[in-house]
Amino acid sequence: MKRLGMRGRLWVAVALVLVLLGGVAWYRLLREEPLPYTSDVDYFKYGSVGVEANSGLPFAVWRVLPEVFGDLIDRKGGYAAFGFVREPGQPQPIGLPVETVGFPRVGLNCGLCHVGSVREQPTAPRRIVLGAPNSTLDLQRYFRFLFAAASDERFRPDVLIPAIEVGQPLSFLDRLQLRFLVIPQFRSGLLDQKRQLWWMDTAPDWGPGRVDPFNPAKVQLVHLPPDGTIGAARMLPLWNWNARSNFGLHRDGLNTSLTEIFLNSGIGNGASNRSINRVALGRLQKWVSELKPPAYPFAIDEALAARGEATWRQHCADCHAFGGAKTGQPIPIDEVGTDRHRFDSWTTQARDGFNGLDDYDWRYTHFRKTAGYVAQALDGLWARAPYLHNGSVPNLADLLQSPDKRPATFVAGYDVYDQQRVGFVSDGADARAQGRLFDTRLPGNGNGGHLYGTGLPEPDKRALLEYLKTL
C-alpha cells in the first residue's frame, strides 16, 4: 500500500474534522427524538403530527418569552392568558407538543383546537372533554403576542440568553447556537409570518374558540392574494366519524374525504411534505372515528327530555339526527340564513388551488364549493357552545329565540357551564375577567338566521332544550 504523503494526510485530517463537525451539527440541529406516547389518548393530547421538525419554535426561548415580554400580554399568567387547556401535573398545555429535533421545539397538534374543558362552577376542577371544540383558546392573540415580541428590540440574545440561563445553566456551545442561529432564525421566522398575515388585522378578531381555518392557507400554501374575505369559525368536534360517512367536512362541507382533511390539517398546522407524520395521522384518524361523544355531565330531567324528543323529531331530526335526509349535507345559504362571511371565504379559486397543489406525495381531489353550511349531526351538542359556525349565539336557549332576542354582545371563552341555558356562562364579572367580549354587530359575527324552532310555544322549547342535552 502506498503511504500517504503530507498532503494526503492533511486531506484526511480535514475530512475527519468535517465529518465530526457534520455529526455535531446533525446532533444539535436535526437529530429527532420522537415523543414516546403509547396510548392514543395521550398521543392525541401531547403527541407530534410532524409539525415541530418543520416549524417548531425553540422551546428554551419560547419558555421565557412571557417573562421577558410580560408587558405585551394584557393579563397575568403567562401563556395561560391565551386559554390553552391544561391538565394538572403536565408540563405543557394540551396541543403544544415539545419534540426534540436537534433541540426541543414546540409545535402544535390536533388536540390544541379539538380538546375542550368545562367546569361546573368557578371553583370546580376543569374536566377535559376529548374531541370537543376548544372554546377558550385565543390563538390569534397568541400569534399576535409572538409577533409583537419578535418586533420588539428586546428580542435579542443579550436579553434572552440570561433569561434562559436562570435556573438552567447553558454550555458554551448552547450559548453559541442560541446567539448565532436559534434566536435570529426564530425572530426572522416570526417576522416573516407577521408579514404574510398582515391582512388578519383588517378583519374583526377571531376571539376565543375561533380561527380562520382557510385564509392563512390560501395565502401561504396556495399563494392566492389576500382577498379580504372573513373566515373566522368555531372549531368543530372530532369524534364519532364512523357514523359520519359521506358527510360534508368543515362548516361548509368543502371536502368529503376525512383522510384529505387530516392531511390538509397537518400541513395547515405547519408540517411539510417531508416532516408530516402520516403514521400518526392515520392512527389518530382511526381513534377519532371510534371516539364516542361526551355524555352531558350534569343532571337531566328525563321525563321532560322524553317530551322534547317528539319536538326534535318533528322540527330538527331531518337535518340533524344520524339518518336524517339532510344530515351532514350543506343547506343552501339563503335557506339557513346565517352570517355568510365564512361561506364566502371559501372561493372557487381556493377550491381549484387546493385541488391543484402538487407539493406533496399525495394530491387532493375532493375539495369543492357547496351551496351553504352543513347541517351537522349534533352528537355531544352540549359541549359545542357557543353555537353556529361563527360562535355567535352563546347557548341553546338563545338559539331557540328569534335573532332580535339573541344577545347582541356576550362573553365568549369562559368554560363554566350554564345548565339552565345550555352553553357556557356568558356574562358576569368572572366570565369577563377570563373570556372576551363577542360583538355580533361586527362583520362575520352576525347572529341572524337559523329560525328553526324559534316559533315553538315556550313549554315545547323547554322540553326540546332538555332533550338536546341528551344528544
Q: Verify binding: residue 266, ligand HEC, rule CB under 6 A.
A: yes
Angle at 129 between CA 252 and CA 142, to 5 degrees: 70
User: Which alpha helices (H) appear in 386-470, and where do they start and end?
Assistant: 396-399, 429-434, 458-468
**Which of 68, 96, 249, 416 touches ligand HEC (CB under 6 A)?**
249
441 binding ligand HEC? (CB under 6 A)? no
- Give the SS3 label for residue 170: coil
* One of 178, 319, 431, 463 touching ligand HEC (CB under 6 A): 319
Q: Which of 233, 305, 411, 463 binds ligand HEC (CB under 6 A)?
A: 233
The interface region with ligand HEC, picked from 191-199, 243-251, 289-297, 439-447 by CB under 6 A, is 243-251
Note whether 338 and 446 are within 8 A (CB).
Answer: yes
Q: Which is nearer to ligand HEC, 302 or 335 (CB)?
A: 335
Residue type, 291: L
Residue 43 CB burial class (10 angstroms; 0-12, 13-18, ≥19): buried
156 binds ligand HEC (CB under 6 A): no
Instruction: State which of residues 373, 382, 410, 438 lies at the interface with ligand HEC (CB under 6 A).
Output: 373
- In whole angstroms, how large is the CA radius of gyration of the chain? 25
**Which residue in the set 338, 426, 440, 445 belongs to the binding site for ligand HEC (CB under 6 A)?**
338
Query: Is 218 among the residues that bind ligand HEC (CB under 6 A)?
Result: no
Nearest distance from C-beta of residue 131 to ligand HEC, angstroms? 10
| Residue 386 near residue 377, CB atoms below 8 Å | no
In this structure, what DSSP letter does residue 242 have?
Answer: G
Of the candidate spans 255-263, 362-370, 424-432, 434-442, the one that interacts with ligand HEC by CB under 6 A turns out to be: 255-263
Q: Residue 277 is inside which H or E element, if any?
A: none
CA distance to 38, 106, 156, 344, 354, per residue, from 219 (Å): 36, 24, 29, 16, 11
Q: Is 453 in the site for ligand HEC (CB under 6 A)?
A: yes
Closest distance of CB 238 from ligand HEC, Å: 6
Q: Does 235 bind ligand HEC (CB under 6 A)?
A: yes
Instruction: Pick left, alpha or beta for residue 328 (phi over 0 → left; psi -120 to 50 → alpha; otherwise beta).
Output: left
Site residues, ligand HEC (CB under 6 A): 49, 108-110, 112-114, 139, 211, 213, 233, 235-236, 238, 249-251, 258, 261-262, 265-266, 269, 315-316, 318-320, 326, 331, 336, 338, 342, 373, 375-376, 378, 381, 384, 387-389, 396, 399, 450, 452-453
